[in-house]
Amino acid sequence: MGSLPAQDLIYSVGLLDYLTDRRAASLVRRLYDLVIPGGLLIIGNMNETPLSNLWPMEFITDWSLHYRTEPQMLAWTEGLEVANAWTETECTGRVRLLYIRKP
C-alpha cells in the first residue's frame, strides 16, 4: 500500500467480515494512513442483528463471517488520531458502516 497516493475517501465493504478483530484493526490502521487530512474512511461489516444472514450463510452454505457490533467496530479506531468516528446501519440493518474522519 506504500505506493498508493493519499486519498480523500477510502471505502471498503465485504472484506473485513472475513478477518479477525486483530487483523481488521491492523487493516483499518493501514487504510487510515492513506487518508488525507479531512478525508474519510468508511468500512462496512455485517451487523450483529436478529435480521443477519447468519442462518442462511452459516448453516446452509457454510459461509462464515465475523458479525460485529458498534463497540467492536469503534474499537478499531483505538490509537488513531481521529476527528470523529461513528457507525450507522444501512436500511436493512444487516450492514454496519464505520465512518472515520481524519482531522
pLDDT tier at 83, thresholds 50, 70, 90: very high
Is residue 68 packed enough to be buried (19+ CB in 10 Å), middle (13-18) or exposed (0-12)?
Answer: buried
pLDDT of residue 92: 87
pLDDT at position 60: 79
Rounded average pLDDT over 28-54: 91
Alpha-carbon distances of 26 from 5, 55, 56, 61, 73, rounded to whole Å: 19, 29, 29, 28, 12
Q: Which CATH superfamily is domain 7-101 in?
A: Vaccinia Virus protein VP39 (3.40.50.150)
All three cell numbers of 72: 467492536
What pLDDT, on the 0 to 100 scale, is given for residue 77?
A: 98
pTM over 0.75: yes
**C-alpha cell belonging to residue 62:** 457454510
As a whole number, mean pLDDT of residues 15-21 equals: 95
- The pLDDT of residue 99 is 98
Domains of the chain, residue spans: 7-101
